[in-house]
Amino acid sequence: MKRGRFLTDKENAAIESMIYNDKPLVLDEFKEVEDSLEESFLDRVLLKGEIAVEIEQEDYAITSMGRLFNVRYKRQLRPILYPHHISVILRAHHVQFDRVLRSNGMDISHEEIIENYKNNKWSFVLPILYRNNKIHNKLYKPFK
């Protein structure tokens, strides 16, 4: 059982029953409940035809439309949209979407991901681009 997860009333009653009746405390029985909660979260947030795959970093899933979710905290992450690639910071590491998508057998272009974010109004981060020590925000506008 993962640390920090709340127990349902049924799970709490079952554990109390094990303790009260001097039965061995078996917490592996509740792992299935936890996994089904994570799957049901992804089922709720995925759009029709969208597929989610867990990535190398624990507790993260990426979708066929270019979205990234933290399954543990049940939220969508905001990627950084650069002119030639899309990345996100996961546990102090920059992860590039195109590499992760290719390694999981998904083929989607940079432009398609940007269109998905534009059409569905998903939140993202635009980088501040520097040239000759000056900020040039007008250099990159993904949504015209």
Adjacency order of strands within the sheet including 80-81: 80-81, 86-90, 93-96
pLDDT tens profile 30-60: 555 445 445 678 888 899 889 888 887 778 8
Radius of gyration of the chain (CA): 20
Contact 110, 84 (CB under 8 A): yes
pLDDT at 22 over 50: yes
Q: Where are the alpha helices (DSSP H) in the chain?
A: 9-20, 31-45, 97-103, 110-120
Confidence of residue 139 (pLDDT cuts 50, 70, 90): very low
Q: Assign 66 to helix, strand or coil.
A: coil
Contact 53, 61 (CB under 8 A): yes
Count of CB atoms situated within 10 Å of the CB of 15: 16
Q: What is the pLDDT of residue 1?
A: 47
